[in-house]
Amino acid sequence: MRHRGPSAVTVLRLTVPILACTLALSTWATLDAVARTSAGGVRSAVLTVRQVSGGGGAGGGGTGSAPAGAPGSAGSGTPNPDALREALAADPASAGVYPGVELEALAPGQSATLTLRALGSSTVPFPFRVVEGRGVQATDEAVAGQGALDLLDVRVGQWVRVTTGGTPRILHIVGRNLEPERGGRVISTGLDTLDRPGDPSRPAFYSMVLRPGSDPARVQRELPTRTSALAGLAGQLDVRPAPDPAAQLTALRGSVVGLLVLLGLIALAELLTAAATGLREHRYDLGLLRAIGLTPRQAGAMMATRGAALALAGVALGTALGVPLARRLIDLQGRTGGVGEGIARAPSIGAVLTLAALTAAAAAALSALPALRAARLPGGDGVPRD
């Protein structure tokens, strides 16, 4: 152990790209966690379907959303919400249809506004992406985005008071969900919570959860035609994909892959430098050992072991520093963006072991090859002369 100083420097230099690789792998694991359900399946896409005014006829071409609570009258050409819900539920791509409305709500003190979204019901709750607490199971229960929790200065498990249309409501926040809209300043509850006088009597839109494997773009394009055949609503539907944090983050995967490739090249350069440095430091030792009978294969094995040990030390240190740092940075970004904390995930054990194995194998190979070459030199060439 006469070369502890240079070896420690080698480990520290290798730790930097390994730490960055750990950050990238943690980002990938977080994207996977956001995109999957608690049961491990891929989360289904959601389409938001609204009825639009027919303008008094098929050629009206109205674009405004029908106001919540304005039921259609027979023979007037106004869309029938019940017919729309039945048509959406009968669609082969539909896994569930949930009626909903959105109301502007005032926070306590009447100084700030947020959105109160009523979607699904307490008996048939909408599958919110809950990352803390639980979902809605009863009336007057709600889940909130991080932005809403910050605005109201509450935590999961507390009760909040908001006002909609002059009507005060007291809701029990039972969970925090991933809410990409409005900076997370949204409280979501069941539609059966809106039971006060003056509340909307009919849904303003429907959230249609698609079956796994359905193409959201294709369903969005074909749904108006398929639905009009069942409910006679041709030209009266506005179909849009619901904001999906997983879909918005999917674009980052390409960047993560590119970053991993770049970091791999940097780590490879560090391993080449470490191999050259190690050979230079141990050239005298190799010459002495060669003089007393060390074979080239033994010399290569000795340097390969040294390189692999230093690489594993760098992986261990980089991973130990990178995992908590990645959690802190991802949670900080989530809180800043309104999504909230608690979404960060560490790389899987398999990913870390793969990283360690690749790094150790590369270090061993890069260290052994020059050592084998040096050990095959004439006996005195590896031993410096005085």
Instruction: Compute the distance between CA of residue 340 and CA of residue 356 in angstroms, rounded to an integer.
Output: 32
| Burial of residue 88 (number of CB atoms within 10 Å: 0-12, 13-18, 19+) | buried
Q: What is the pLDDT of residues 277-332, one digit of tens each?
A: 766 666 666 655 666 666 667 766 777 787 888 888 989 999 999 999 988 888 88
Q: Mean pLDDT lowest for which of 70-79, 83-92, 147-156, 187-196?
A: 70-79
Percentage of residues of the chain with pLDDT beyond 90: 11
Q: How many residues does the chain have?
A: 386
pLDDT of 292 reads: 66
**pLDDT tops 90 at residue 177:** no
Q: What is the pLDDT of residues 62-109, one digit of tens each?
A: 333 333 333 333 334 445 667 788 888 888 888 889 999 999 988 887
pLDDT of 337 reads: 64
**pLDDT tops 60 at residue 155:** yes
Percentage of residues of the chain with pLDDT beyond 70: 73
**pLDDT tops 50 at residue 56:** no
Give Dmax (Cα) for the chain. Answer: 109
User: In this structure, are residues 327 and 344 in contact, taking their beta carbons and an 8 Å threshold?
Assistant: yes
pLDDT of 246 reads: 62
pLDDT of 67 reads: 37
Higher pLDDT pick, 369 / 313: 313
pLDDT of 188 reads: 93
**pLDDT tops 60 at residue 3:** no
pLDDT of 340 reads: 67
